[in-house]
Structure 1
Amino acid sequence: MRKLLFTVAFAILGFTASYAQKPERTQRTERVKLTAEERAEKSAAALETKLSLSADQKAKIKQLELDRIKKHDGVRQKDEATMKARFEERKSEMKAHQEKIDAVLTPEQKTKLAASREEMRGKIKERMKDRKGGRPHQAPKTEEAPAKG
């Protein structure tokens, strides 16, 4: 009887654990980009329902939200342009550095280096492909030396 009870409890535990597993990550749906005016209206409408605003208050809040959103969008575009400029600058520096290294190497060494770079690009592309699939980044496994006893 005792064995039967343990078997049933173990089976229930097993089934419960299997249902507790998270399902695979689903594809994200694309967000609809709202204009600044639409976002301001949405924000004002939310405050109107929360705070029971009058029509005059809602209009003023909508204008304040619109000003804030436009200012924020301007800063975001400025930051984006700065990031792109830095990226291009860094890219040109890396290219110049690679050209300097290539000038020092023999033709045989250049081909080895080019092959090594291509291999690295392939590995990076694989990692990026894995990340886009929803799998988290995993650190490379290292083998530890067996403990001496």
Structure 2
Amino acid sequence: MKTKFFLSLLAVVLSLSTYAQQPRPHLQGGGMYLTADERAEIRSKRMQKSLNLNEEQYKKVLEINLEQEKKNEELRKAHQAEMNARREKMKAEHEALIKKFESVLTPEQMKTLKENQEKRREDWQERRGRRKGRR
């Protein structure tokens, strides 16, 4: 009885692990995201199937989805550019802060400050589940 239960459990675990390794429909090989055209086509085909669209409706829906995907792509690009600019500004401000500290603190105190900052960074990465030095 225990053997049958164990074998059944093993079969379930193996089948779930192979399911988890299936490629995601929104991702292309290697984790690359699909193009706007590909996303629009996937969405339109889903709608065609679920709404039973005829060919004319499908073409119009595809056109609408393509237009929306291109708008979304532009919004993502703008957001990414904004985030990069903000990151660069914060980096410059941090460097200016370090220079101000260097004008006040001794070299030993600066060394301790940098060690403390590195320790906090490592603790944060550990809490986030990342390996050290991976950035």
Q: Name the TM-score, length of structure 2 as normaliser.
A: 0.67
State whether structure 2 residue 40 is matched by structure 1 residue 35.
no
Superposed, which structure 2 residues align to 1:100-119 within 5 Å?
A: 100-119=100-119
Q: Structure 2: which 5+ runs fail to align?
A: 1-8
Matched residue, 2:61:
61
Q: Which residue of 2 aligns with 1:83?
A: 83
Select between 70-79 and 46-55 the one with higher mean Cα deviation: 46-55
- Return the letter of the residue paired with 1:90: M
Distance in 1 (CA, whole Å) between partners of 2:90 and 2:37 is 37
Which is bigger in relative contact order (C-alpha 8 A, separation at least 6)? 1
Letter in 1 for 2:105: L
Flag the 1:119–1:67 CA change in 2: closer, same or farther, 3 A. Answer: same
Higher share in helix = 2
Q: Find the counterpart in structure 1 of residue 72 from structure 2.
A: 72
TM-score (norm 1): 0.62
Aligned partner letter, 2:107? P
Q: What displacement does 1:66 show? A: 0.2
Shift of 1:90: 0.7
Distance 2:47 2:107 in 1: 69
Flag the 1:35–1:98 CA change in 2: closer, same or farther, 3 A. Answer: same
Counterpart AA for 2:89 = E
Distance in 2 of aligned mates of 1:91 and 1:102: 17
For these two proteins, the number of residue pairs brought into alignment is: 107
Report which of the two structures shows the higher radius of gyration computed on alpha carbons.
1
Rounded Cα–Cα distance in structure 2 between residues aligned with 1:38 and 1:113: 50
Percent of residue pairs identical: 34
Where does structure 1 lack aligned partners over 5 or more consecutive residues?
A: 1-18, 133-149
